Amino acid sequence: MVDQETWENTVLKKLKLPNGVVASNRIMRAATWMGQAEEDNRCGDTIIETYGKIRAGIVVTGFQYVMHEGQSVRRMISNSRQADVDGLKRLAGIIHSSGGLAAAQLVHCGCKGLPKYSGRDIFGPSDMEVPGLKGEVIQVKAMTVDHVERVTQAYADAAKRAEDAGFDVIELHGAHHYGLWQFFDPSYNHRPENDPYTGTSIEGRCKAMIDAVRAIKNTVDIPIQVKVDSSSDTVRPEEVGELTKRLAEAGAYCVLFSGPDPTRKPRDEEDVYFLNDAMVIRSIAQDSGLLFGLVGGIRSPETVVKLLTGDGDMDAAFDVVQLSRPIISEPKIMHRWTEEAKIGAQKPARCISCNRCFAAGLKGGVRCVQFGDE
Ligand SMILES: Cc1cc2nc3c(=O)[nH]c(=O)nc-3n(C[C@H](O)[C@H](O)[C@H](O)COP(=O)(O)O)c2cc1C
């Protein structure tokens, strides 16, 4: 049971970002593709209405592709053309009017892009074959160095559009086996030793992500946070620790730890499934000056407080926590928990992490199928 004072001193503690902008609390809405962009992938009334219901200190948008070849799923937000700015402005505006700071998550999905959407060839770090949605074989072409540099520039251009649209924060998507992670992970990156983005050294593997942070930093004046996987079958958390230190040197202010198979079904509400790897990374990068965040399976107010205070068996705390599915199910869960703290009766999220919300997104739009709309 969390008492009101603890809730106020931890979760409702304000978060001052490097540019002086202040988030009203420590809960971020994790980036969540809603499958609700318009047919041409601009932001229209449907997605604006959805974001208008969400309450969180920082609301990270669903992933926005920075080049059309990097689109991986239907109705994903485009931030690849000037024509996208008006919709992005409305998106940042509705988040602000709901009391949150607005963060734009940027991505190039690399070899997880689908020709079905972009009508183009699919590019990644290396020539390889990957399975498509229906088991078909997709031939991925290795990006040339010039191509990787164009993608880096596309990140910076998208960040500029986001800044012009009024976003307060950029979140770089370096997780979930998308483009930037693919360069870091040697199971995707087979580039030779003499290539600047080589998969044979930690410098080469980090370069695409680090270059993207630097390019964004040189272009906009808003803080950059990066979401990374904490490990994978082929990457140890210690290596992500090295990446994290470099992200700090490049100018990121916060790194958030996710992992492969991000939308797991926790065994119980305390099963915060990336915690152990995140703690390893955190210990390696603890002197970097970064803020740290965690996402994945966080469903109860007690867990949120524990993560923010480092209580119990954890020897260090996180600065922020991110929630995705609990906020799909209850967009105002943050308000509910705050009201319930006043009477000492907080109930966990109603979300059971069943992932039926995701399946709904593939048909019409993401919503809580289990319990219905709030
Ligand atoms: C419908 C749906 C869409 C998602 N879209 C994104 C996305 O656009 N970018 C991203 O980094 N993660 C995405 N995720 C993953 C979440 O941000 C989060 O990492 C994951 O759901 C675990 O957190 P949770 O247990 O609080 O749901 C998505 C998850 C769901 C369920």
- At 212 the pLDDT is 98
Provide the terminal-to-terminal Cα distance of the chain, rounded to the nearest Å.
24
Short-list 216, 272, 211, CA closest to 243: 211
The tokens 């229209």 sit on which residue? 44
- C-alpha of residue 330 to centroid of ligand 1, in Å: 15
Q: Is pLDDT at 329 greater than 90 in this prediction? A: yes
Q: Is pLDDT at 77 greater than 90 in this prediction? A: yes
- C-alpha of residue 358 to centroid of ligand 1, in Å: 9
Instruction: Specify if 46 maps to a domain.
Output: yes
**Cα–chain-centroid distance for residue 73?**
16
Using a 6 Å cutoff on CB, does residue 357 contact ligand 1? Answer: yes
> In sequence order, what DSSP letters do the residues of 251-288 get, joined into one string?
T-SEEEEE-SS-S---SSTT--TTHHHHHHHHHHSTTS
Instruction: Specify if 203 maps to a domain.
Output: yes
Average pLDDT, integer, range 86-107: 98
Residue nearest (by alpha carbon) to ligand 1 atom 21: 263
Using a 6 Å cutoff on CB, does residue 207 contact ligand 1? Answer: no
Domain with 258, as residue range(s), is 4-363
Instruction: Specify if 372 maps to a domain.
Output: no
Rounded percentage of the chain residues whose pLDDT exceeds 70: 98
Instruction: Specify if 166 maps to a domain.
Output: yes
CA 326 to ligand 1: nearest atom: 26
pTM above 0.85?
yes
Instruction: Specify if 354 maps to a domain.
Output: yes
Residue nearest (by alpha carbon) to ligand 1 atom 6: 32
Q: Tokens at residue 150, please? A: 């164009």
pLDDT tens-digit map of 117-155:
877 899 999 999 998 778 888 899 999 999 999 999 999
- 200: domain CATH number is 3.20.20.70
**Cα–chain-centroid distance for residue 158?**
16
Q: Is pLDDT at 115 greater than 90 in this prediction? A: no
- C-alpha of residue 139 to centroid of ligand 1, in Å: 27
Q: Is pLDDT at 268 greater than 80 in this prediction? A: no
User: CB under 8 Å to 277, separation ≥6 — which residues?
Assistant: 230, 231, 237, 240, 257, 259
Question: Chain-wide mean pLDDT for the chain?
Answer: 95
CA 173 to ligand 1: nearest atom: 11
pLDDT tens-digit map of 183-234:
999 999 999 999 999 999 999 999 999 999 999 999 999 999 999 999 999 9
Using a 6 Å cutoff on CB, does residue 274 contact ligand 1? Answer: no
- At 119 the pLDDT is 77
Structural domain count of the chain: 1
Instruction: Specify if 369 maps to a domain.
Output: no
Residue nearest (by alpha carbon) to ligand 1 atom 28: 32
Instruction: Specify if 371 maps to a domain.
Output: no
Average pLDDT, integer, range 346-350: 95
> In sequence order, what DSSP letters do the residues of 93-117 get, joined into one string?
HHHHHTT-EEEEEEE--GGG--HHH
Q: Is pLDDT at 316 greater than 80 in this prediction? A: no
Using a 6 Å cutoff on CB, does residue 35 contact ligand 1? Answer: no
**Cα–chain-centroid distance for residue 39?**
23
Q: How far apart are CA 262 and CA 188, in angstroms?
A: 19
Instruction: Specify if 370 maps to a domain.
Output: no
pLDDT tens-digit map of 275-299:
999 999 999 999 999 999 999 999 9
